[in-house]
Chain A
């Protein structure tokens, strides 16, 4: 059963290539949705089954062999725990939404879209469930390659080609760095199974080779997770990819990069680095903070709605990294809830943007200023998404944020809630500002040069101008927001997240389960987790801040001149930051190299 979430979509993708081209489009659509639903059900079932103990599956029956408690794992395994299966379920859920949304898409282009999406689904599900480092690399690359192809799906336009090139080259370099790290770990341990590598490393001590391997593996995954300065590819890819693809990119693919770091850290390095946690924590927190701030600032500067949402994803990826960097099960539970809620909300926001692109032919808020007044439901959904993104209770985002902030407080990091507040206000405010301009026509009509085609222009993704929004376009967006709502009000959600996090972060328990050695006593009862008054208040504060930022941006010209003038010098570095996002892949790879060198250097200094 654990292999089915990968096998079913792969076989389905192959089957979709078989039938004659004249097959009715509705059949293909229904088939693809059915496959995604099947994977969703399997993911949820696996999460439920593994909550009592990890589900281990050895391909071909190649179980660990050996004698006297020294078992060696040579085979390839899937090791499923609730978080892994839960991520696979999130992937499948967003895939369902994307398939339903694309019901009326790309009428003339054939079925390759569905084939690529199904391969993408299989690769992401495999990445979530795998218990083997090289296997993870292969799924990582399969996921990347199908993502490159999907980005460049509109292969006759310039933007998608350039975006896909930037995406592909940057992420391939990241993938090779990851493989270099895998090779170094194999050189040290002679193992590729996560538990086996961890068990061998536990017997040694932390030296230069292990630190370099950790740096390479981590940066390889962080390129996918769009952490500054590895993030440049993300807005380019998001701005040009078809809307249903954006739902998956922002909702789950970026987060999978971080999932990879967390999985490898706890299974492989959790023992050998346990005495260096404070040093590692400060390095990762630093990266998370920089990413969150850069993403939020860039988000507030965007007019192209897909780019705006993409930078908000960068910003949230920084917050997720910050939560992971606390290296604690409670914060990890918070990150898990936050990731799922964010994925649902971001998916819904992208769906709203897709509807705008369908109805108005552009996603530049200046070009379609005030034209969205005839789309009240889409507008309401978009605004609600902005508020939920800012952490308005009872959407799941506030719960996740609350848990991370609580744990940060226990570690003495009392500035963390302020950072979350600022990021929520800036990213949520940017979404609400766009909602006010597009759907209500608030504020002054922005200056926009109609002849410039620099950004914001895209060809419609649908054929034939529609006079109304089809139900299949709006419904998945509503369902996703509803899912984020349920996450926040379900009283058992924090408890399940907490027990999943304790299991996920249990280095020795994982090794015992996979290698079949003597079971270690499970970690003691975990602390309670749930919504507290302070998390509710902080969530409300974030949403209020977002509304304030949005109003400030919309009615800037009604403010007295003097304070605005005083702010001007503070704004010039923002322009410079914006210029760094040049769209040239050479610059991106140069930044990546600088980032790897800096990360490795700081890490070596911190872990000495």
Chain B
């Protein structure tokens, strides 16, 4: 098992947060949030990966056949659903923000401070 996927997960987490912290466009910011979330997909799949193992489908094969962990795959699926919900809702808010404030620059929003 290589450590490479774990580096990828850490890199995605950091680069996504860097993107959010420096973003000047709300759509870009929300895509950066999706990048942060992709890091959890990669991490979960890497956790359940086994070298030279098959997909966890035990049809016509003995139960002792090595297979990758199906639990993390179920977790990733759930995670993707969560991500889709959050992204859709946030993009809806951005559309509405653009309608009301006429800008997509988060630094140009001044309704709240202090």
Where the two chains meet, the residues of A that have a C-beta atom closer than 8 Å to any C-beta of B are 134, 138, 141, 144-145, 148-149, 152, 155-159, 161-166, 168-169, 172-173, 175-176, 179-180, 183-184, 186-187, 192, 235-236, 239-240, 301-302, 454-455, 578-579, 581-587, 589-590, 593
- In the complex, chain A residues whose CB is within 8 Å of the CB of B21: 586-587, 589-590, 593
- In the complex, chain B residues whose CB is within 8 Å of the CB of A155: 93, 96
Name which of A155, A159, A176, A179 has the most chain B CB atoms within 10 A of its CB.
A176
When the two chains form their complex, are residues A168 and B93 in contact, meaning their CB atoms are under 8 A apart?
yes
- In the complex, chain A residues whose CB is within 8 Å of the CB of B110: 454, 583
Given contacts A172-B86, A179-B44, 13 further A-B contacts (CB under 8 A): A134-B78, A138-B82, A141-B86, A145-B82, A157-B100, A161-B101, A165-B26, A165-B93, A168-B89, A236-B112, A240-B111, A455-B113, A584-B109
A158 partner, pick from B9, B17, B100, beta carbons under 8 A: B100
Expressed in whole angstroms, the Cα–Cα distance for A155 and B101 within the complex equals 12
Q: Does B75 contact A (CB under 8 A)?
A: yes
A68 → B minimal CB distance (Å): 21
Expressed in whole angstroms, the Cα–Cα distance for A587 and B23 within the complex equals 10
Q: Does B67 contact A (CB under 8 A)?
A: no
B14 → A minimal CB distance (Å): 9
Q: Does B68 contact A (CB under 8 A)?
A: no
When the two chains form their complex, are residues A145 and B85 in contact, meaning their CB atoms are under 8 A apart?
yes
Take A138-B82, A161-B96, A584-B106 as given contacts and tell me if A176 and B90 are in contact as well, using a CB distance cutoff of 8 Å.
no
Q: Does B47 contact A (CB under 8 A)?
A: yes
The 10 closest A-B pairs by CB, nearest first: A583-B112, A583-B113, A159-B111, A187-B47, A590-B21, A589-B20, A161-B97, A158-B111, A179-B40, A236-B112
Expressed in whole angstroms, the Cα–Cα distance for A235 and B13 within the complex equals 26
Chain A contact residues: over half helix, strand or loop, or mixed?
A: helix
When the two chains form their complex, are residues B112 and A134 in contact, meaning their CB atoms are under 8 A apart?
no
Take A454-B110, A455-B112 as given contacts and tell me if A169 and B33 are in contact as well, using a CB distance cutoff of 8 Å.
yes
Expressed in whole angstroms, the Cα–Cα distance for A183 and B76 within the complex equals 10
Name which of A158, A159, A235, A590 has the most chain B CB atoms within 10 A of its CB.
A158
- In the complex, chain B residues whose CB is within 8 Å of the CB of A144: 86
- In the complex, chain A residues whose CB is within 8 Å of the CB of B43: 180, 183-184
- In the complex, chain B residues whose CB is within 8 Å of the CB of A145: 82, 85-86, 89
Q: Report the interface size class on chain B.
A: 35 or more
- In the complex, chain B residues whose CB is within 8 Å of the CB of A455: 112-114
Q: Could you jot down 18 A-B contacts, CB within 8 Å?
A: A134-B78, A138-B78, A145-B85, A148-B93, A149-B89, A155-B96, A161-B100, A162-B111, A166-B112, A176-B37, A176-B40, A180-B9, A186-B47, A240-B112, A583-B110, A585-B29, A587-B21, A590-B21
When the two chains form their complex, are residues A589 and B17 in contact, meaning their CB atoms are under 8 A apart?
yes
B39 partner, pick from A149, A176, A582, A586, beta carbons under 8 A: A176
When the two chains form their complex, are residues B71 and A169 in contact, meaning their CB atoms are under 8 A apart?
no
When the two chains form their complex, are residues A148 and B89 in contact, meaning their CB atoms are under 8 A apart?
yes
Where the two chains meet, the residues of B that have a C-beta atom closer than 8 Å to any C-beta of A are 9, 13, 17, 20-23, 26, 29-30, 33, 36-37, 39-40, 43-44, 47, 71-72, 75, 78-79, 82, 85-86, 89-90, 93-94, 96-97, 100-101, 106-107, 109-114
Expressed in whole angstroms, the Cα–Cα distance for A192 and B69 within the complex equals 13
Expressed in whole angstroms, the Cα–Cα distance for A158 and B33 within the complex equals 22
When the two chains form their complex, are residues A192 and B113 in contact, meaning their CB atoms are under 8 A apart?
no
- In the complex, chain B residues whose CB is within 8 Å of the CB of A148: 86, 89-90, 93
- In the complex, chain B residues whose CB is within 8 Å of the CB of A166: 112
- In the complex, chain B residues whose CB is within 8 Å of the CB of A302: 114
B55 → A minimal CB distance (Å): 19
A224 → B minimal CB distance (Å): 15
Take A149-B89, A183-B40, A593-B21 as given contacts and tell me if A165 and B94 are in contact as well, using a CB distance cutoff of 8 Å.
yes
When the two chains form their complex, are residues A579 and B114 in contact, meaning their CB atoms are under 8 A apart?
yes
B25 → A minimal CB distance (Å): 11
When the two chains form their complex, are residues A161 and B23 in contact, meaning their CB atoms are under 8 A apart?
no
B60 → A minimal CB distance (Å): 24
Nearest B residue to A164 by beta-carbon distance? B93
When the two chains form their complex, are residues B100 and A586 in contact, meaning their CB atoms are under 8 A apart?
no
When the two chains form their complex, are residues A168 and B113 in contact, meaning their CB atoms are under 8 A apart?
no
Take A134-B75, A162-B112 as given contacts and tell me if A585 and B93 are in contact as well, using a CB distance cutoff of 8 Å.
no
- In the complex, chain B residues whose CB is within 8 Å of the CB of A585: 20, 29, 106
B100 partner, pick from A141, A156, A169, A581, beta carbons under 8 A: A156
Nearest A residue to B86 by beta-carbon distance? A172
When the two chains form their complex, are residues A581 and B22 in contact, meaning their CB atoms are under 8 A apart?
no
B70 → A minimal CB distance (Å): 11
When the two chains form their complex, are residues B90 and A180 in contact, meaning their CB atoms are under 8 A apart?
no
Expressed in whole angstroms, the Cα–Cα distance for A141 and B78 within the complex equals 11
When the two chains form their complex, are residues A180 and B39 in contact, meaning their CB atoms are under 8 A apart?
yes
- In the complex, chain A residues whose CB is within 8 Å of the CB of B44: 179, 183, 186
- In the complex, chain B residues whose CB is within 8 Å of the CB of A581: 113-114
When the two chains form their complex, are residues A176 and B36 in contact, meaning their CB atoms are under 8 A apart?
yes
A298 → B minimal CB distance (Å): 8
When the two chains form their complex, are residues A161 and B93 in contact, meaning their CB atoms are under 8 A apart?
yes
- In the complex, chain A residues whose CB is within 8 Å of the CB of B112: 159, 162-163, 166, 235-236, 239-240, 455, 583
When the two chains form their complex, are residues A583 and B111 in contact, meaning their CB atoms are under 8 A apart?
yes
Nearest B residue to A235 by beta-carbon distance? B112
- In the complex, chain B residues whose CB is within 8 Å of the CB of A593: 17, 21
When the two chains form their complex, are residues B93 and A586 in contact, meaning their CB atoms are under 8 A apart?
no
Expressed in whole angstroms, the Cα–Cα distance for A393 and B103 within the complex equals 51
A572 → B minimal CB distance (Å): 15
Expressed in whole angstroms, the Cα–Cα distance for A301 and B113 within the complex equals 12
Expressed in whole angstroms, the Cα–Cα distance for A589 and B98 within the complex equals 22
Expressed in whole angstroms, the Cα–Cα distance for A161 and B106 within the complex equals 11
